[in-house]
Amino acid sequence: MPPRTTRTPARAGRNQPSRGDLPGRPPAAALTGFLPWRQPSALEVLATTGVVALVMLVLDLAWLGIVAVDVYDREMGALKRPDIVIPAAAAFYVMYVVATVRHAVVDASSMVDAGRRGAGLGIVAYGTYEFTNWAVIAGWPVALVPIDLLWGIALTTVVSVAGRATYEWFGHRGAR
């Protein structure tokens, strides 16, 4: 069945298919141009957020506490606190998980897109941290800059793909 044509004031005199009438495109998406086919429920967003938070926490704790602990101890020396400031760490994780879910998971059109968006968010977030510290903290170890940048890209890419897999499990395939 061919798409229905409508006349719009901006294109008076031309018969153009309405965006909402194109095959496979719902009318709601035509009105705004960015609404997903079906809005996620609160449970779906919470479950996706929970997966992103859990994967991020497990991977980051493994990285910081097992894999790279000797590198950070050696490079940071006296700059490294003996104990973590839990409220500061929790504030970062809450903000970063929310930003990852919103920008790299829900807004993505596929798992590949989620990975790309996650990598982009990772380089911006970890780059901001590393380059700011390097710029303003006397004695900031330059050797940590590429290590942390690569870790931020890898971590955020993996958690974004895991989050998108969870989101798609709920039926949100190709949400854009």
Residue 53: CB atoms within 10 Å: 19
What residue has token string 């998971």?
Answer: 105
Q: What's the average model confidence in pLDDT over 168-176?
A: 69
Q: What is the pLDDT of residues 13-70, one digit of tens each?
A: 455 554 444 455 554 444 444 444 567 788 889 999 999 999 999 999 999 999 999 9
0.85 exceeded by pTM: no
Q: What's the average model confidence in pLDDT over 136-142?
A: 95
Q: Residue 24: its pLDDT value, please?
A: 54
Residue 116: CB atoms within 10 Å: 16
- Average pLDDT score over the chain: 84
